[in-house]
């Protein structure tokens, strides 16, 4: 299967129409239609539901995900070989809502002073998504909250504390408190993380099972559940870095008492032979980490 054919497929998916896709690709409509049919024949499946606009079958959705990964990876390979002559290209970094990631703008600023032809792709997602993209070579680096299985990665452990607390509506009765105790937490309707490893750490701090809390919902990205907190339906148990950008006129964040914090790492795929821009960036963050013990 040719890479060009996957790129054509993704264009058809994006445009939802063979004619528009053909115009974008500068090929004739019959040619593109024939190539999509040949792709279906090669895979022994139907990729499109044909109508006024094209929609994907389940097989088409699966191919879209794989095609995006393949095209992205091939673009990175092409970029890395071009970078052997000149330090340029794109460095991809993934992170969830972590305090440690707040240093990234400063890193980018100083690195681009040395290598102005380098740009960055910033991906926000869950820890599972970032790990998966690191493993598949679709991300160069990722900020990850511990505890997490990082057997497949090399990493730098970061000194920034990821402090746990409760996201409340700004007018909540506990918003005047400096911190939230175990007993106060037990009395609140809560939204908690869906990551089992993190829930285990929270249970150890609670001294009783998480199941004894009044759990309204679980989440993987806090943006999806912040409206529950704003409307007073439930408070969100989260790390401070995940809520730093929230409007203080609408939300209040109060740390737990006694303090509960975790550490985070900057990880990259183990034994990856980084060259070009990614290699230079890795050298840079290692030097910063060793000199100042913070990234």
pLDDT tens digits for range 230-245: 999 999 999 999 999 8
Answer whether 80's CB lies under 8 Å from 72's CB: no
Q: Given this model, what pLDDT does residue 79 score?
A: 63
Answer whether 285's CB lies under 8 Å from 295's CB: yes
Please identify which residue in the block is written with the tokens 């970061």: 158
Residues 173 and 209 in one domain: yes
Residues 12 and 39 in one domain: yes
Q: Given this model, what pLDDT does residue 294 score?
A: 46
Residue ranges in the chain modelled with pLDDT below 50: 294-295
Instruction: List the CATH number of the domain containing 36.
Output: 1.10.10.10
Q: Given this model, what pLDDT does residue 138 score?
A: 87
Out of 56, 81, 106, a domain closes at 81
Instruction: List the CATH number of the domain containing 229.
Output: 3.40.190.10
Q: Given this model, what pLDDT does residue 234 score?
A: 96
Name the domain count of the chain.
3
Residues 173 and 206 in one domain: yes
Residues 18 and 95 in one domain: no
pLDDT tens digits for range 267-287: 998 766 566 888 889 989 988
Residues 11 and 70 in one domain: yes
Residues 155 and 270 in one domain: yes
Among 253, 27, 262, which residue's Cα sits nearest to residue 144?
262
Which residues are 162's β-sheet partners?
Answer: 262
Out of 59, 81, 103, a domain closes at 81
Write the CB contacts of 227 (distance below 8 Å, at least 6 apart in sequence).
Answer: none
Cα–Cα distance for residue pair 99/96, rounded to 1 Å: 9
Cα–Cα distance for residue pair 140/138, rounded to 1 Å: 7
Q: Given this model, what pLDDT does residue 271 score?
A: 63
Residues 171 and 210 in one domain: yes
> Phi and psi at residue 31, in whole multiples of 5°?
-65, -45
Q: Given this model, what pLDDT does residue 172 score?
A: 96
Residues 256 and 269 in one domain: no
- Please, how many CA atoms are within 13 Å of residue 20, restricted to the half-sphere of its CB? 11
Q: Given this model, what pLDDT does residue 51 score?
A: 79
Answer whether 137's CB lies under 8 Å from 239's CB: no
Write the CB contacts of 295 (distance below 8 Å, at least 6 apart in sequence).
Answer: 100, 103, 107, 156, 158, 266, 285, 288, 289
Per cent of the chain over pLDDT 70 is 94
Domain containing 174 equals 161-261
Cα–Cα distance for residue pair 67/272, rounded to 1 Å: 22
Residues 77 and 99 in one domain: no
Chain centroid, CA 250 distance in Å: 25
What are the tokens at 96? 């969830």
Residues 120 and 130 in one domain: yes
Residues 252 and 113 in one domain: no
Cα-Cα-Cα-Cα torsion 272, 273, 279, 281, nearest 10 degrees, comes to 10
Looking only at the bridges linking them, the beta strands covering 153-169 and 251-257 are antiparallel
Which residues are 264's β-sheet partners?
Answer: 145, 158
Out of 46, 81, 116, a domain closes at 81
């Amino acid at each position: 299967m040719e890479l060009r054919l996957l790129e054509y497929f993704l264009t058809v998916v994006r445009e939802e129409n063979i004619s528009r896709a053909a115009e974008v690709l500068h090929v004739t409509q019959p040619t593109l239609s024939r190539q999509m049919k040949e792709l279906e024949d090669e895979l022994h499946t139907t990729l499109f539901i044909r109508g006024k606009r094209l929609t994907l079958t389940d097989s088409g959705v699966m191919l879209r995900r794989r095609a995006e990964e393949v095209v992205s990876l091939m673009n990175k390979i092409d970029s890395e070989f071009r970078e052997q002559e000149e330090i340029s290209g794109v460095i991809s970094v993934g992170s969830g809502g972590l305090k440690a990631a707040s240093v990234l703008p400063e890193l980018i600023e100083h690195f681009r002073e040395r290598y102005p032809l380098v740009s960055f792709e910033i991906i926000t997602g869950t820890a599972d998504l970032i790990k998966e993209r690191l493993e598949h070579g679709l991300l160069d680096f990722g900020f990850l909250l511990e505890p997490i299985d990082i057997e497949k990665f090399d990493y730098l452990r970061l000194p920034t504390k990821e402090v746990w607390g409760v996201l409340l509506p700004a007018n909540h009765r506990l918003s005047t408190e400096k911190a939230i105790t175990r007993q106060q937490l037990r009395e609140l309707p809560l939204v908690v993380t869906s990551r089992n490893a993190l829930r285990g750490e929270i249970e150890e701090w609670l001294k009783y099972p998480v199941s004894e809390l009044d759990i309204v919902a679980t989440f993987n990205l806090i943006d999806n559940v912040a409206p529950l907190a704003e409307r007073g339906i439930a408070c969100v148990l989260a790390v401070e870095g995940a809520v730093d950008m929230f409007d203080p006129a609408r939300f209040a964040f109060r740390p737990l008492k006694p303090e509960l914090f975790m550490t985070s790492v900057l990880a990259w795929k183990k034994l990856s032979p980084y060259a070009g821009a990614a290699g230079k960036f890795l050298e840079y963050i290692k030097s910063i980490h060793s000199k100042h013990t913070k990234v």
